[in-house]
Amino acid sequence: MKIRLFVLLGSILLFSALKLPAEDGYELWLRYLPETDPERREYISGILGQVVLDLSTSTGQVIDEEIQKATRGMLGEALPCRRDFAKRATLVIGTPGRFGIFNTDAVRGELDGVGPEGYFMGRVSYGKRDYLVIAANEPAGALYGTFHLLRILQSGSILTDRPITENPKIRHRLLNHWDNPDRTVERGYAGFSIWDWHKLPHYIDPGIKDYARANASLGINGTVITNVNANAVVLTSPYIEKVAALAEVFRPYGIKIYLTARFSSPAEIGGLSTSDPLDPAVREWWVAKADEIYASIPDFGGFLVKANSEGQPGPQDYGRTHADGANMLADALAPHGGIVMWRAFVYSHEIAEDRAKQAYNEFVPLDGRFRDNVFIQVKNGPIDFQPREPFHPLFGAMPGTALAPELQITQEYLGQGTHLVYLAPLFEECLDSDTYLPREGSTVARIIDGSVDNREQSAIAGVSNIGTDRNWTGHLFGQANWYAFGRLAWDHGLSSEEIAEEWIKLTFGKDPFLVGIIREIMLSSREAAVNYMTPLGLHHIMGEGHHYGPGPWVSGGRPDWTSVYYHRADSMGIGFDRTASGSNALRQYAPEVQEIFSDPETCPDAYLLWFHHLPWDFTMKSGGSLWEELCRKYDAGVRSVGRMRESWQKVEGKMDEERYQSVRSLLKIQEIEARWWRNACLLYFQSHSGLPFPPDIEQPEGTLREYMNLRFPYAPGIRPTW
């Protein structure tokens, strides 16, 4: 009996020892877990054992804190940095002027081409010794270089003899928060806003600093903290004081703060009778407001504006143009170095024109009329963050204007907070698209980074998925999309595969089996979602208002807010004809693009029903009919999620139980909802085609009426009306 008890106790102790520590996802990709391999510990110690650092700036102090966090986590002992140069230094971090090593020709030569935010990392000979250095022209560059080094050490990689020289390809790399003053988040699926306006400016949650750390680790250097559906209250003096308190936290991390500007603010909070951008009193009001903001926030970034879109006020209310409105704000900000990001997401149901064409029609005639500090912020596609869209025709069509792509990190149309959908392939798909304007090779990425038109100004924005949920993003894999946006904003030449592998190693560990399984899940997830939601170029067929779940039957009211407006299914066929025989939206693209998409025989299947209305019996490239292909795509999406679930089960025990079970539960929800999408959509489209389902797919369950009667009054992501 004693022997059995001893064996039992031993087994319990062994199980406890093997069980991985609980994690809740709060640490993101900055976990700094203990390094157990002796050789690896020695290698890390050989680099971080004695760091010499310029501690005279607030950013230098942040670097010191980060290195102490890293060494405490990986080596078990926090190793503070030295402020004075030492011959036995293992790493020297700084900018020219502080230490003699940075004034050598070798370092200065490397820094000539990296700009204010870039950095050089490599071995440098100085005083008959070789030192590893991270050198930058400005403290922010030194911070980015430090995070790069820590990323290498965390992921199990080693530094090669080849020096690393990096410079961000895009200058302004911003998150856009759609957060309201009452702390609700429009299209947010991770809890409430992290900005606690009620307690600001006197209390700042410690998590705000961790938010800044996470962004800086990716090279994100700006954040718009308020909703594009703006509230003028954020421009009042009490709120400017609150914003200034946040800016104090962000500043050492190289992050500028931006605000959304409600266009009607002069009349709403300024006591004026008008907000006409050509009225001298209105212009003076904005100048005074900019002066007030910069007096409190010297490094304020500027304004993001949604105007004359979805009910928001704008210059057209006064018979003025978008250029009139944007330039008024740009003139107010210019003396301080601020920028205006003017959103091109404009459309109106009162215009009898394909919604996909309206932004192009409004903005292209204004090309060259915007101030140099104005960016036109353009969604990746011409409709609205759909699971798949062709690139927006504005890219390449406005050579005289700075354009900034707007990518959605939060998954409004991609399963919201319950679906695992890795978005790097979507971002990459847009950025790599060739516009052929003005010539072949003019990709969206090269247009927005300024290399096509030799433009110095460049910007990119991502709509944030961050909230008060402990793991920041609701779904653990939502962190990967925040990470991917930041890495692509820094270097759009990175691949989805590279970014996924980086994130997995930093988030879950270096085990090759685990990395391989999760990488496969991530890289297949976006195509799976497209298939079970909107295959073959279908779009905008989600539920009404909340956008949760399928709603291909949505009709009535504003046509451009319905689903039937976009898929146009009838007894003859399905799809939106955007060729010359239809809305001719295709004409807004370069001739080379038109040639690819205009013929259904050459149009890629992925965009077929975006550009063409085709009969149900149209013969696809696979040899089957359009109806059969549509059914099989929907079914393939469901099957893909089933494989994702099976694959995830293989990593049980290779990570902490808490995060494993969280993802496992959400994958179950995703498979249920993928079936819901497939069943509801195919039953609805069958009511038009009148054709049977192919026998080789899982037959849709339920009735169309049952799916149409589902209601979700408390679906997340929309602002409460009470």
Beta bridge partners of 303: 259, 340
Residue type, 553: W
Closest CA to 541 of 353, 374, 681: 681
Give the side-chain half-sphere CA count within 13 A for 168. Answer: 30
The token pair at 48 is 């971080």
What is the rounded (10 degree) CA torsion for 148, 153, 154, 155? 90
How far is the C-alpha of 286 from the C-alpha of 329, rounded, in Å? 7
Which residues in 548-574 are b (16+ Cβ under 10 Å) and which e? bbbbbbbeeeeebbbbbbbbbbeeebb
How far is the C-alpha of 167 from the C-alpha of 136, rounded, in Å? 10
Beta strands in 194-255 (DSSP E): 222-224
Q: What is the 3-state secondary structure (H, E, C) of 238-290?
A: HHHHHHHHHHHHHHHHCCEEEEECCCCHHHHCCCCCCCCCCCHHHHHHHHHHH
Closest CA to 142 of 161, 169, 114: 114
Catalytic residue among 24, 130, 291, 310: 310
**Residue 127 burial (10 A CB sphere; 0-12, 13-18, 19+):** exposed
Catalytic residue among 384, 453, 497, 544: 384
What is the rounded (10 degree) CA torsion for 555, 558, 560, 564? 10
Our answer to whether residue 412 is catalytic in this structure is yes
Q: What is the 3-state secondary structure (H, E, C) of 631-697?
A: HHHHHHHHHHHHHHHHHHHCCCCCCCHHHHHHHHHHHHHHHHHHHHHHHHHHHHHHHHHCCCCCCCC
The token pair at 434 is 């060739």
The token pair at 195 is 């900005």
Catalytic residue among 179, 412, 428, 560: 412
C-alpha distances in Å from residue 466, one per residue of 127, 191, 207, 581, 690: 48, 8, 12, 43, 44
Active site residues: 310, 384, 412
